Amino acid sequence: MFAVIKANGKQYRVAAADEITIDHLEAEVGSIFTFPVLMLGGSSVAIGAPHVDGATVTGEVIEHTRGDKVIAFKKRRRQNSRRKRGFRADLTVVRITEISGLGETVKADAAGTGA
């Protein structure tokens, strides 16, 4: 069973025990976070308008980290004009612990696989 969730304005396809890297969440490390479900898939499919009623995806916040540096470099030729600016996005790593909906529940077991 898989689900399409919405987090910070972006959509992610997840399954139980997946670790996803998303934009920064205001949540403590180790806390449980519930995501809105846009679609459920597997043996049967449910598409929400905009969300699937009664379906939930929960995940545990593993860590807060930063992304790779992105360099914005502007140069105007023959004018000795250069501007260099770096940016690193704040990210959060989340492990999906449970997907429930359509009368079935899939949990991530201790080994880290969806069972």
Q: What is the pLDDT along the chain (115 residues), one digit of tens a residue?
A: 899 999 999 999 999 999 999 999 999 999 999 999 999 998 888 898 999 998 999 999 999 999 999 999 999 999 999 999 999 999 999 999 999 988 888 898 865 666 5
CB 114 within 8 A of CB 108: yes
Nearest to 59 by CA among 101, 104, 100: 100
Domain regions of the chain by residue span: 2-107
Predicted TM-score of the model (pTM):
0.83
pLDDT value, residue 112: 62
Query: Hey, which residues does 54 pair with through a beta bridge?
Result: none
pLDDT value, residue 43: 83
CB 25 within 8 A of CB 60: no
